[in-house]
Amino acid sequence: MTRVFVETTVLADALLKPGVRAKAAKDAINAADESLLPVYAIKEFKAGPLHHYVWFHGKLVTTQSWSKTLEQLRKTAMSSFKARWVSTSVEALEAAAVKNRPVRLKQLVEKYGADATEDRTVCDRYRLALRSIIMRGWKGRRKLTTRVIHELECYPEDELREDRGLIELGETDCHPKDECALASRLRREPKQLEALQNAVEQQPSKPENQKRLQTLRELRRPSKKLSSSQCRHLGDAVFAFFCPQDATILTTNERDLRPLAEAVGKTVQTP
């Protein structure tokens, strides 16, 4: 029996990405006898890729102009802090372009009127395509795999709402009463935590690895409380830790995840 443990990147590919990437992700999930999706992946999906799609959709709504939206995207690209937002927005454009089917000029005139500009109609068509991708993606998150596991008591999985054309994500973060719900589960396996810490220490010293390393160190100190921000910093370590021993982590981020998975005796597969 084959089992896969679906990581956030594959979840995002299957639900948001266009054509070949979505098909590859879904085929890899469906090829397994059992596919498992941890709620942590849903949490990361909403706060990451889905958030960026919604952000770009919001630009289309507020500017009502294709050229002005692209101008704002270009300005955002100048911020290193939001570089991931921009790259994901470009993927959103690609996905919307695939979804948009060619239409005749007559159909556009009937829908938008004879005085409508190309700038406005293109903006509106991308907005509608993107809205459909976002809504369908979020609605399908728990239907993609055979099981959804590892529910998080401190994570309110709010549904999406719309307000004057804008999509509202609701909560994207956890709200622990005392500390992150994962903390007690992680501390039950101190040897795995140590192995993950050693593996991260061998990774390149980029900011996300430094934050992950600091969080793993503090987890090994019982007096320290794991905060919601530290929960986010764990990232790849969560998938390596919680993947069942007889399952394979399904990810497109093999380079970063494989060392962590191998450190605790797990395997990794790409679609």
Q: 221 is written with which tokens?
A: 């100190």
For tokens 């990437």, name the residue: 21
What does pTM read for this prediction?
0.88
Domain segments of the chain: what residues? 3-174+244-257+264-269
**Measuring CA to CA, how many Å separate 231 from each of 9, 29, 40, 200, 212?**
18, 26, 9, 16, 9
**pLDDT (0 to 100) of residue 32:** 95
Confidence of residue 158 (pLDDT cuts 50, 70, 90): confident
Mean pLDDT, to the nearest integer, of 242-256?
94
Distance CA(46)–CA(157), nearest Å, equals 9
**pLDDT (0 to 100) of residue 101:** 59
pLDDT one-digit tens code per residue, 175-217: 888 778 888 888 888 899 889 889 988 888 888 888 898 888 8
- H/E segment holding residue 72: helix 66-77
CB atoms within 10 A of CB 259: 18
DSSP string, 143-198: TSSSEEE---TT---PPPEEETTEEE----S---SSS-TTHHHHHT-HHHHHHHHH
Residue 115 has pLDDT above 60, yes or no: no
